[in-house]
Amino acid sequence: MTETAAPAPLPVRRPTTDVMITAVRGDSTTVRPDVLATEEPMEIRVQGSDQEAVPVTVTMRTPGNDFELAVGLLFNEGLIESYDDLRSVCYCANVSNAEQRFNVVTVELTHKYEGAARERTFFSSSACGICGTTSIEELATRTSAVESAMRIDIATVLAIPKLLNKGQKLFNLTGGLHGAGIFDSTGQLEVAREDIGRHNALDKIVGHYFLQKKLPLSDKILALSGRIGFELVQKAAMAKIPIIVAVSAPSSLAFKTAESLGITLIGFTRDHSTNIYTHPERIDLKR
């Protein structure tokens, strides 16, 4: 009887990569191991009912929570609209290079996929090929203003950045990842995600809540580890998040979008200071 060799195990995609570096510290030079944040492409394919899967986008990301990323990104871009649209999410087995299997995710829908028009808007937005006013107007066709009775105190706002940092295990290991977190009204961290791309970290969070069937997030706070751009406010609006707290500044378009869509935008949040840019009525300023 001829023995058959066991198939080689498929490579596991890790969020960190081990490397050797030459560290210079004053007059001392040492060759030592170090850890970097992994960056790899992930192709997202969409498969409609009784249709072949088609690629819709490729994003550079840190491996981990890939299904959340795929679903969150498609939801935030309007290619998935409701829980009933989603049949399954899986890594694609039909990949010519086995090493890339875990870099391709297929999202299967319960209905026919007719996304050509939306794909054009998606790619245009991703390429920043439209002006700011057009961006806000196009977003307004996909989501209404955020309505929420949520109100929090200023002490909760000021405490959030440190709490988010504690939840960023990979950043504290590598120093090379963006973080996003969802907090409740008392300032308790519920979910944190990290990625080489700041937008991906938020897509992973939205995907997490979508897969848990817990959207919208109209009673939650979004925390961001860096600056606030238009696309981050856009994704928050799609998930109906009323308050964004970040450690850095918003862009002008992020400001205009938050103002237009009823989102409280807070930046430059440190231990004892912060800037509230839009809709300050949700923040109790008494100390």
Q: How far apart are CA 246 and CA 157, in angstroms?
A: 10
Phi, psi at residue 29, to the nearest 5°? -125, 125
Q: How far apart are CA 123 and CA 127, in angstroms?
A: 6
Burial 97-117 (b: 16+ CB within 10 A, else e): eeebbbbbbbbbbeeebebee
Q: Is the peptide bond before 15 cis (omega within 30 degrees of 0)?
A: no
Here the tokens at position 167 are 């939840």
Q: Which of 90, 92, 128, 131 is catalytic?
A: 128
The DSSP secondary structure of 71-97, one letter per residue, reads: HHHHHHTTS--SGGGEEEEEE-S--SS
Scanning the structure block, which residue is given the tokens 């939840």? Answer: 167
Length of the chain in residues, anyone? 287
Active site residue 128: yes
Q: What one-character DSSP code corresponds to residue 30?
A: E
Here the tokens at position 145 are 């203003």
Q: How far apart are CA 154 and CA 176, in angstroms?
A: 29
Which residues fall within 8 angstroms of residue 48, CB to CB, at 6 or more apart? 109, 111, 112, 113, 114
- Active-site residue set: 128
